[in-house]
A and B are shown apart, each in its own frame.
Chain A
Amino acid sequence: MEALRIESTHKTPRVILDPENGIFEFSGRSIPEDSVGFYTPIFAWLEEYSKQPLPVTHVRFDLEYFNTSSSKNILEVLKRLEAIHAAGHEVRVTWYYDEDDEDMEETGQDYQALLNLPIELSVKVQS
Chain B
Amino acid sequence: MVATESELLHEPALSYAYPLYRNMLDNSVVFIYNGPITPDLIVDVLNLVEYRLEDSREDRRISKKLFNIMVESFTIGDDVERGGAVLLVRQLPYLYAVSVGRRVRGDSVYAIKSFIDWVNTCSSEELRDAYHHLLQGKATHSIPPHIGGVPSISILDLARKSHDFLHYNFEYLDDFESFFSLEARIRKNNS
Contacts and interface: CB of A to CB of B under 8 A. Distances in A.
Contact of A114 (B39, B67, B68, B136): B136
A29 to B, nearest CB: 8
A113 B161 contact: no
Interface of A: 10-11, 29, 31-33, 65-69, 71-72, 75, 98, 100-104, 106, 110, 113-114
Contact of B132 (A29, A32, A104, A114): A114
25 contacts: A10-B40, A10-B43, A11-B40, A11-B42, A31-B39, A65-B71, A67-B71, A68-B72, A68-B75, A68-B135, A68-B151, A68-B153, A68-B157, A69-B151, A75-B136, A98-B60, A98-B64, A100-B59, A103-B64, A103-B65, A103-B68, A104-B68, A106-B160, A110-B131, A113-B132
A110 B131 CA distance: 9
Contacts, number: 68
The bracket for how many chain B residues form the interface is 20 to 34
Interface of B: 38-40, 42-43, 59-61, 63-65, 67-68, 71-72, 75, 128, 131-132, 135-137, 151, 153-154, 157, 160-161, 191
Contacts of B132: 110, 113-114
B94 to A, nearest CB: 19
